């Protein structure tokens, strides 16, 4: 089955700097890769996703890149703000039939003012 590895586990940046979180996956059939942001005590919120037919997707300060050959994908946050502080999870679909997601271990991002 699918296995997703996420790094780093913790990341601390100064406000205004960029943050990058990386994930690798094992199942070459995976075709959907969402990123979730979870603030303390809140639900995981989808912030951006990418499908396997696209190499990069951007939404304002957030971008995701996907390298299918290497089986890794990354989240890039530019001009970080204190409200970006949260735990970020990457995920990959198991296979290409949609449905079940396999999550990475999470990255705790801290943005210092």
Partner 1 sequence: EAGVTQFPSHSVIEKGQTVTLRCDPISGHDNLYWYRRVMGKEIKFLLHFVKESKQDESGMPNNRFLAERTGGTYSTLKVQPAELEDSGVYFCASSGQGNTIYFGEGSWLTVV
Where does this chain bind partner 1 (CB under 8 A)?
6, 32, 34, 36, 42-46, 49, 51, 89, 91, 93, 98-106
Cβ atoms 90, 24 nearer than 8 A: no
Cβ atoms of 50 and 64 within 8 Å: the answer is yes
Q: Residue 37 or residue 111: which is nearer to partner 1 going by CB?
A: 37
CB of 62 to partner 1, least distance (A): 16
Minimum CB distance to partner 1, residue 47 (Å):
12
Name the β-bridge partners of 21: 75
Which of 85/93 has CB closer to partner 1? 93
Minimum CB distance to partner 1 smaller for 12 or for 45: 45
The HSE-up count of residue 25 (CA atoms within 13 Å, CB side) is 29
Going by C-alpha positions, the residue among 75, 70, 71, 18 that lies closest to residue 49 is 75
């Amino acid at each position: 089955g699918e296995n997703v590895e996420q790094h780093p586990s913790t990341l601390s940046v100064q406000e205004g700097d960029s943050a990058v979180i990386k994930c690798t996956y094992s199942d070459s059939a995976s075709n959907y890769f969402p990123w979730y942001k979870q603030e303390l005590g809140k639900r995981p919120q989808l912030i951006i996703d990418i499908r396997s037919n696209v190499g990069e997707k951007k939404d304002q300060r957030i971008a995701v890149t996907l390298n299918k050959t290497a089986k890794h994908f990354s989240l890039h946050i530019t001009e970080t703000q204190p409200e970006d502080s949260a735990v970020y999870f990457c995920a990959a679909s198991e296979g290409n039939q949609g449905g079940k997601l396999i999550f990475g271990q999470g990255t705790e991002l801290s943005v210092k003012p």
